[in-house]
Structure 1
Amino acid sequence: MASEAQLTLPLCPPTPASFEQFIGDEANDAAVRALRHFLATPNETLFFLAGEEGTGKTHLLTAACAEVEHLGARCAYAPLAEAVALSPELLSDWEQYDLICLDDLDAIAARNDWEETVFHLFNRVRDAGHRLLISAPRLPALLDIELPDLRSRLQWGTSFRLRMPDDALKQLILKNRAHQRGMRLNDPLADYLLRHYDRNLGRLMCLLDRLDKVSLARQRRLTLPFVRSVIADMASERQG
């Protein structure tokens, strides 16, 4: 029977994504092709994605989970920035999964119990012939991981660094996500969000989620006054 900690941590990504929904430049598209090749040809144990917040790391990890599950395999996903509040024992027996996705590995840096656990998990996954997909803001050699054996293991696989999209690409990503949610985000509105709200793509996506919920609840379409009012409400909530 699973422990309470294991039940608390989602084994599946809460918001599934797909590779087809990922919009990137030429360099990031190359990373996606390499990742899909890694998933299709299990010759390596580890694939490592590095990139700043907003470059799409979590999107690609959730897309990888969706792809392997579509093929009948099993995937486990751990958002380590949240999971470190729990016991690392929750990763016990995870080598049984065909693909294990560890998001934000930097969150366990200098946490001896977590570093040891991930190191031993790596070895068990390799012995089982399964695979690890890991993300962090920086490449493995630049992380503040203290356990030498884990630092070494993290450099065994294929690594790619995702580039931050420029404003034109961010605008395209925003409009595409809005379209997927049934909202029409025109160019002036997308430009307004980039100029006056936040240039961080992750936080912009959170804003789109909020706009979607509020527009449905109020039966409103996206207009500049409506968007401004939702942003003002969010600012008031943070201050309160």
Structure 2
Amino acid sequence: MKQIALDIGLTPEPTLAGFLAGRNAEAVQHVRLWAESATRSPVPSYVWGPEGTGKTHLLRAARQALQSQGRVVGWLDTDTPLRTPFDERWDAVLLDDVHRYGPEHQHMAFNWFVNAVSPLHGKPRAVLAAGRLPPADLPVRDDLRTRLGWGHVFELHPLAEGDMRAVLRQSADARGVFLSDEVMGFVLGRFSRDLGSLMQLLDKLDRYALQTQRAITIPLIKSMLENE
């Protein structure tokens, strides 16, 4: 009989300390200072790069850092319910995957941005956004596009293979599972190397290993794929 895998604790929330910077040290340091500062500048920050460079991971890590300080954070992505109003209690606003926003999410993002940076009451809030393209190339309404490019803009670059191995090792250790060098070589040689896909694969492997009560090995990976 298979053991049923529970959702509790299998995917740890990303942290800034656990984000492997590689060639992105300047951007990661900026976000770390932004998240940890008691007096965040209202000047917006925007990070961009191709799929799999860790944009969502970085924003989620920033959100986690803010929430650990007791801050209330507004988070907007394509899964956020439409017409969600700006909340005056928010200390910061995070806008993820802005290149995927349709007209209504663009309207929400613009509303949140303006209310955060130029509030009618209270002090300005900080804004951190991320997308696949630089601000000037985003397929969004002009007033949102120009505002996203107002402040600090950083490009994120894909990690080298050595860094990818380090990320996999670190993420596996956080889940309490062991990945051998052989398994990591197999994964990097046969699956998408973008960071998001690798983290999803690691989640699936972790769950399948728990269900089958086996260690993560190459035969286990092949068995998981056959069962799918």
TM exceeding 0.5: yes
Counterparts of 1:121-140 in structure 2, within 5 Å, are 121-128=112-119, 129-140=124-135
Structure number with the higher helix fraction is 1
Is the contact between residue 53 and residue 194 of structure 2 (CA under 8 Å) also seen in structure 1?
A: no
CA distance in 2, matches of 1:154, 1:67: 22
CA distance in 1, matches of 2:135, 2:214: 46
| Structure 2 residue corresponding to 1:154, chosen from 134, 148, 154 | 148
Deviation of 1:70 after TM superposition, in Å, equals 1.6
Alignment-derived partner of residue 14 in structure 2: 17
CA distance in 2, matches of 1:28, 1:164: 9
CA distance in 2, matches of 1:98, 1:156: 20
After superposition, the Cα gap between the structure-2 partners of 1:232 and 1:94, relative to the gap in structure 1 and judged at 3 Å, is farther
Q: Partner of 2:214: helix, strand, or coil?
A: coil
Runs of 4+ residues over 6 Å off in structure 1: none
Deviation of 1:170 after TM superposition, in Å, equals 1.0
After superposition, the Cα gap between the structure-2 partners of 1:197 and 1:112, relative to the gap in structure 1 and judged at 3 Å, is closer
| Identity fraction in percent | 29
CA distance in 2, matches of 1:132, 1:95: 14
Is the contact between residue 93 and residue 128 of structure 2 (CA under 8 Å) also seen in structure 1?
A: yes
Counterparts of 1:109-188 in structure 2, within 5 Å, are 111-128=102-119, 129-145=124-140, 147-188=141-182
**Is 1:61 the counterpart of 2:59 in the alignment?**
yes
Deviation of 1:181 after TM superposition, in Å, equals 0.9
| Structure 2 residue corresponding to 1:105, chosen from 98, 112, 121 | 98
Aligned AA (2:112) = L
Higher mean Cα deviation, 186-195 or 63-72? 63-72
The number of residues matched between the two structures is 212
CA distance in 1, matches of 2:163, 2:170: 10
Alignment-derived partner of residue 7 in structure 1: none
Q: Partner of 2:118: helix, strand, or coil?
A: helix
Aligned AA (1:141) = A
Q: Partner of 2:26: helix, strand, or coil?
A: helix
Higher relative CO (Cα under 8 Å, sequence separation at least 6) belongs to: 2
After superposition, the Cα gap between the structure-2 partners of 1:212 and 1:233, relative to the gap in structure 1 and judged at 3 Å, is same
CA distance in 2, matches of 1:206, 1:23: 17
Unpaired runs of at least 5, structure 1: 1-13, 235-240
Q: Name the TM-score, length of structure 2 as normaliser.
A: 0.86
CA distance in 2, matches of 1:207, 1:66: 22
Aligned AA (2:128) = L
- Post-superposition Cα deviations, 1:136-164, rounded to whole Å, max 9, x if no partner, equal 0011111112x222222111121111100
